[in-house]
Amino acid sequence: RGPLQGPLDLDLESSGGVVSHLNAQWQPGRVLLKGLELHVKGLKGASGGRGRSLGLRAARQAEVRYGEAGLSVSGLDLVMSPSGRLQAQGALAPDKLDLRVMLDGLALEPWRALAPTLPLGTAEARVRLSGNPARPGGDFRLGVRGLRVAGSPLAPLDVALAGGIEHGGAGSALTARLELDPQAVKALGGSEARLNLRLPLLFGPDGLPGPAPQGRLAGQARWEGAVGPVWSLLPLADRRLNGRISLNLNLGGTLAAPRVTGGLRVNKARYEDLLLGVLLTDINLRLDLDGKRSAARPGKNDARHAETAEATGGNLPLAGSMRLELTAADGLGGSLRLTGGGAPDGGNLDL
């Protein structure tokens, strides 16, 4: 009878396809990780053959403390096999938040044995949270050095996604931006590339984030250049697309009533589907989004959109109107011309 006082020691082992060893000690308010090893053997590589092994081991002891004062983790240091290292430490209390996670030198190619669609390259990550649960702050950076897609003719690229949590007069938000160095943009056939997003958030007393429907939404997407090199990154070996593309989109409004303005231009493009034997040449596309109320003629979808507008406080889920112009040829003398407009979500479509 009565509460457990400890300490209690735990020692587990497994063998076979999964070889593991866990050595830990528990006592009230504290867990000590003395040793950890985990290896998965006999995996089939992406290029065939077996015998690949993946795993991790703890480089040193790690400690977890918990109780009314909060939760803390220290000394977590995992060495990945065949490469990479993951380190983490942090503390969570009613008035304090401090978390740091670092990933270095994780080669992605071996892990294709578990996830064949993974690209090639070396992953790295930095995540830092600070402040307190009700008003957290921090930043992150997730990147891949030497990113390459198997079968793509493109040279390896360095790419990263960076951002953080910000607070200001417009409320709290999660921000993110795509980082591409000029050499990477040039290798992708472009002269300008930009992608960023501001997602409004609400934080509860426990620090868990949630969307802020009426918070300010913002974002940009820019691309100027060829479409072929970017297309080659997709797993569509039997389909080819070449030409010039100009993308200029701005995201605004709120989560409850987002607004997109800008447009898309595709000039002198060529699409080929080798499997179906489809060939389209001289493709020209012009798509304009004005972010204003659609002026298209009323249609059968009006009732549905009216109900949606009422549910979102009088605004359509994606406010604005679009105008589309598309021309293409089949290479044998035939041609296609398509024009029309409507709402960005397909409502009031008139082609």
Tens digit of pLDDT for each residue in 261-277? 999 999 989 999 888 88
Higher-confidence residue of 42 and 13: namely 13
Tens digit of pLDDT for each residue in 158-172? 999 999 999 888 789
pLDDT above 90: residue 101: yes
pLDDT (mean) for 207-223: 89
Tens digit of pLDDT for each residue in 172-213? 999 999 998 888 898 888 999 999 999 999 887 666 788 899
Confidence of residue 303 (pLDDT cuts 50, 70, 90): very low
pLDDT above 50: residue 142: yes
- SS3 track for 17-73: CEEEEEEEEEECCEEEEEEEEEEEEEECCCCCCCCEEEEEEECCCEEEEEECCEEEE
**Nearest CA-CA partner of 142 in 174, 170, 108, 103:** 103
- The average confidence (pLDDT) of the chain is 85
* Percent above pLDDT 70 for the chain: 87
The CA distance from 351 to 344, in Å, is: 13
**DSSP output for 82-145:** SS-EEEEEEEEETTEEEEEEEEEEEESGGGGGT-TT--EEEEEEEEEEEEETTEEEEEEEEEEE
Residue 135 neighbours by CB distance under 10 Å: 12
Place of tokens 């993946």: 54
pLDDT above 70: residue 287: yes
pLDDT of the residue at 305: 44
pLDDT of the residue at 203: 81
Tens digit of pLDDT for each residue in 46-81? 555 556 789 999 999 999 999 998 999 999 999 999
pLDDT (mean) for 78-96: 94
DSSP structural state of residue 175: E
* Percent above pLDDT 90 for the chain: 48
pLDDT of the residue at 311: 42
pLDDT above 70: residue 314: no
pLDDT (mean) for 120-142: 93
pLDDT of the residue at 349: 78
Place of tokens 């697309």: 241
**Greatest mean pLDDT range, 36-40, 167-171, 342-346:** 36-40
The CA distance from 293 to 301, in Å, is: 15
Higher-confidence residue of 59 and 312: namely 59
Please state, in angstroms and as integers, the Cα–Cα distance from residue 147 to each residue in 83, 194, 334, following that order: 16, 18, 41
- DSSP three-state, residue 196: strand
The CA distance from 299 to 113, in Å, is: 52
pLDDT of the residue at 19: 93
Higher-confidence residue of 48 and 255: namely 255
* Torsion sign across C-alpha atoms 308, 312, 317, 323: positive
- DSSP three-state, residue 194: strand
